Each structure stands twice: as C-alpha cells, then as structure tokens.
Structure 1
Amino acid sequence: MKSFITTIFIITAFLSCKEGTREAIPIQTEPLAQKEPKTENNIKENDPTIQETKEWILSKLRQYHAYDITKVGGIAGIKETTTKRRFTKFSFLGGELLLSFHEIEKENDGRFELTKREYDATIDIPIGSLKAVVIKKINGTDKCNLEFYSESKNIQWVNHTEKFTEYRTAFGLGFDCNAEPDLEGRLQKAFNFLKTKHNKTFPKNPEPF
C-alpha cells in the first residue's frame, strides 16, 4: 500500500513538472547570428548596386563630355579639312560601355566646302578588361580627353554606315578639364567596381594578329 501511494505521488509530481514546463517562456541568453544580407552579386549592404554605379557613370559622361570635337588639317585658305564628332548616346549593355557618335569630315579649298565623309559609329568597351580610365590634357591645348585603356586589343569601333569594325587598345572622347574635384579617381573607382562584377567574360579580339 505504501509503495502504491509513493508511485502515485511520483507520477503526480512528474505531471506537475510537465505542466509547468509547457507554460514556461525560454530565455535567450545569446543573440542569434545575423545572416549575410542577400544582395546582387554579394555586394555589401551599403555599397552601390551595379545599376546605380552604371547610372552614375552615364550621368558624368553626359554632363561633361565635349559635344563636338573639331580637328582642322591642311593649309588654311587653300585646302582645309575639318572633322566634327558629336556623341549621341551613352549606354551600358551588360558588361560593355557603348559610346555612339556621328562624325562628318569636310574639305574647303577656299571656294567650296565639300563633305568628304560622314558616318555613324559605336565604340564598344568591355568593362572586364579595362586597365585604366584617365582624364588627360591634350598637348598644346586647353582641352582634355577622357581616355579608356584596355588590357588587350578588344575595344570595338563599329562603323555602321561604312560597314566595318576595327579593334583597339584605347579610346578617348573630349571631356571637360574643369569637371568635379577628383572626378578621375571617382570614375576609376566606379569602373573598378564594375570590373570586379564582370571580370573578363567578354569577347577578345577575334583576329589572330
């Protein structure tokens, strides 16, 4: 009888503990580990996105590029050649920067001005193989160029009018020498950021030499 009463007491105590446990609120002594934020291409939370970086670069190109580049050759009053290049569009296509322009070349012999050449072209610059982006003063002038240098001969010059394509290691466009402070360094930083995202996954020069 005593053993039976003892058994009932133990079962009752066990059920009381279970009931108490069911109502208890666990206390968290350590914070949960924070998960890595899911961002585009593992970009840190405070970094600009790829799209924001591209839009910033395009805004600077549109704001500070020289609308017309004029080169004069020959002998004034006898035979003079003038070339004007006007950039019409700046854009990105994936990991490539596209610079579109219209160029017209005229010749003046002192009596008549004739159009020798006129065409539309696009410069295709693969971001993944960019080596440098610099703002450089043009010798003997007060003008500057924004110049792009590639690690290989893979900058495409596509002439849409005359139907041919050339490959180069560099390309420059007229640029405002008095643009924002340290714009060269900031552009270089922005292109380096894009370069880490696009690597060298774009076509190289298909020509063997």
Structure 2
Amino acid sequence: MVDPIVLAAFIPAALALNLTPGADMMFCLGQGLRAGPKAAWLASAGIATGGMIHVAMAGLGLSALVASVPWAFDVIRWIGVGYLLWLAWQALRAAPPADAPPKGAARDAFRSGLLVNLTNPKVILFVLAFVPQFVRPEAGSVLGQFLVFGAVIGIGGFVINGLVGVFAGSAGQRLARGSRILDYLTAGIFAALAARLAVLEKA
C-alpha cells in the first residue's frame, strides 16, 4: 500500500515531468500532424502502456539487470533508432494529400507509440532513478508500489501528450491542407528523435 503522504508528494513531481517536453511528447505531436487527433490519442496510449511495462520490469528487478549490461543498452537504443527512421521514411512515402490521413496510420499509432517507448533505454534509466525514491519497502509490495506510481505517470502522460498531439493535428491540418508540408514536418520530427537517440549516452 502506497503511503498517502508519499503519493501526494509524487503526483506533482510526476505532473512536472509529464509537462516537460521530451521524446514522447514530440512523437505524439508528429503522429497528430500526420494522421490527426485519433492517432495522437492512440500513440499516447501506446506510450503510456510502454511506460507501465518499464515500471513493471523495474519493480521485478529486470530493468536493473538490463541497465547493468552495456551491450543490452546499445542494442535497445539502435533498434529504437532504426524504427524511428523507418517511421520517418513511411511519412514521406507516397503519402496522400494532407487533408486525408494515411491509410491505417491511426490504427498503427498505438503500436508505434508502444515500440518507440519500449526501445528508448533512457526510459529504463529514468524509471530506475526516479520511482525508487518514493518506494517504501516497509509499506508493502514493492512491485505494487511501482505499479501505482507508474499508473500516475502513465495517466498524466497520456492526457498531456494526447492533448499536444490533438492540438498539433487540428492546427496543422487546417494550416497545411492540400500540401505535403505535414509529411515533411512529421518525417523531420521522427528523424530528429532518431538522431537524439543515436547520440544518447548511458551515463
């Protein structure tokens, strides 16, 4: 059982982190631009689900094992780089006009958000550095506490990242209707995220 006082201290800290622009927010922004509000919400849901998986792994001790193995960190990182570059390429490939979202883009947004989150090793390190500060072994199940804190982060992130994507999609599609500017902008966002992940260092 999570101590209510600890939870009260955790919620504003988690909200501040959710509001900080980062890779997850930019990814949802890109999905919103490319395929509209539905895709933004689905991408945000995928990211939140990936975050819960990371938190569960941390609670079970698996993330600490991965973080302690240098080659595992790099393998996960380069898989993420490759996937983001593939998404950038897909955004540029024979896309329909900007006022018609690519076929299947919204459907695939959840999966894309999930994979992008799971292949970002920085999330593993973040969870291991941040969440344990609030876990109290004497309060009960450590895994249960990790899951509660992960749910707080996940719900906040889902709402905030989803709203960012919805706003970007609505505004972007109005401003660039009938052109391919949204495709290039989305591809640029995904490529920039890939470059950011490529230069990521473990420490």
**Normalised-by-shorter TM-score class:** under 0.3
Give me the TM-score of the superposition, normalised by structure 2.
0.26
Q: Whose strand proportion is higher, 1 or 2?
A: 1
Structure with bigger helix share is 2
Work out which structure has the larger RCO, using CA pairs closer than 8 Å and 6 or more positions apart in sequence. 2
TM-score when normalising by structure 1: 0.25
Q: Which has the larger radius of gyration?
A: 1
